[in-house]
Homo-oligomer: A and B are copies of this chain.
């Protein structure tokens, strides 16, 4: 059956491998939530499936389930009431270890077939997934469908492509014939076995559980490692659905379904620290706070660790020949999902004397005002604003906005907003502050959420230097620069190479610095403190398996 899956999806896999090398646009999972593509009944069926989950037990095929946990609350204002199995690790871990040899020995093609079928079935359930992502993370529906379902599937496929390609480079056999001058050559037959590291742990993040989770999940699984999925207690459902689909496909293919297992916990009794330190855990993928990421690095030395932590993203504004495009683009970036993306800009550096634009010189204060007005304009329509902003995943972010308002001159105040359909949704518009470059400790740290600073500097060179220093000290995943002169773009790019940050230049059209496209954009670099890995590159997969060889004299 897994061989059938492989045959079925082989062309997709081969195209994915090819595309990672040219990095053009490609996706096999349509991002438009349209009935024409997914079937006219799909949207309603997805919503019904989601609603059918509410206030029910979520049943999974895995040993060691001893009780129920779960207290998710939609950021749109209602409790989900889904109860997940609480797991006895001393039962689950040995069971997963016992399942490993069959999964390892099935080989790369069989494992890739299963993983690709999991993604194909997840794709069919994208409307249901979108509901689950929306009502746990707070993303607007379309974003939840895209980032939470189809783009996450892209990222999963990308990881499978890299990992499959890496395994394919290990020949199963070789005959080694070494000449010995006049004597008979030495002949050895060798076999090479891809072996997994052991059990893998995926620690999910509350805001992008699938998009940030699928790369590690599929990279570990396809290389032979059973995967324990530990979601954030606020955002369990999207990963529980993922585990359910994975278990269904694994079982159909004749493997133990608990090769992918859910470990749900609660805020009151978290299990991540205990789990991550278990000696059986040999791989950990983590997205989340810097503090917990540092704790993992300190304490989980038995495991290979891939972390995406926090960062402080910069925008360097020097000059523009399209002020309106700049303002719209930046306003959109700051508003999208209320700034709850690891790619959202935070600090917008502008020379205090102002910038040159095609409409003439613009002072720093006027520039800040223009951005504020851009945001206000963008969010004027209630329906559009609701979709764009989504809701705040955590109450803490609302508190953080209030706290940040004291840090500088408020250019645009954050305000709570009603939602057209969900009366109790936690919606707040962005806060925009203006500050001087010193003291920098006010703005030069992560303020997660819809909180941005216009930072007035002496010059663009100071803007670049502060961005560079900030990225090296605190990490950064994105930089954006606006400049009309090639030399300024060049200097910024030079600093970006040193700071290890992806740079977007003069974005004024329908691509935003927050967006990172699978197969084309490398998400994070692994070259500054924001992340020790990149989604997705060869380094992200190469160390998830090892090669053990056997050799003997050839007969």
Contacts and interface: CB of A to CB of B under 8 A. Distances in A.
A476 to B, nearest CB: 11
Interface stretch (A396-404, A435-443, A536-544): A536-544
A177 B25 CA distance: 6
Given A174-B22, A190-B520, A195 B550 contact: no
A550 B506 CA distance: 11
A500 interface: yes
Interface in A486-539: 493-494, 496-497, 500-511, 517, 520-522, 525-527, 534, 537-539
Contacts of A180: 510
B178 A553 contact: no
A520 B186 contact: no
A309 to B, nearest CB: 14
A169 interface: yes
Interface string A161-193: 000001001010011111111000010101011
Interface string A124-146: 00000000000000000000000
Where chain A touches its partner, the secondary structure class is mixed
A549 B502 contact: yes
A252 interface: no
A297 interface: yes
A542 B538 contact: yes
* Oligomer copy total: 2
A193 B520 contact: no
Interface residues of A, number: 66
The listed residue with most B CB atoms (<10 A of its CB), out of A180, A181, A501, A527, is: A527
A145 to B, nearest CB: 16
A177 B24 contact: yes
A546 interface: yes
A504 B543 contact: no
A555 to B, nearest CB: 10
A151 interface: no
B548 A174 contact: no
A23 to B, nearest CB: 4
Interface in A442-460: none
Interface in A1-40: 20-25, 32
Contacts of A527: 195, 197, 546, 548
Given A539-B542, A542-B539, A548 B188 contact: no
A553 B508 contact: yes
A547 interface: yes
B23 A553 contact: no
A542 B537 contact: yes
A551 interface: yes
A468 interface: no
Given A505-B551, A507-B553, A537-B547, 6 more contacts: A23-B176, A24-B174, A496-B548, A506-B553, A525-B546, A538-B542
Interface of A: 20-25, 32, 101, 104, 166, 169, 171, 174-181, 186, 188, 190, 192-193, 195, 197, 297, 301, 493-494, 496-497, 500-511, 517, 520-522, 525-527, 534, 537-539, 542-543, 546-553
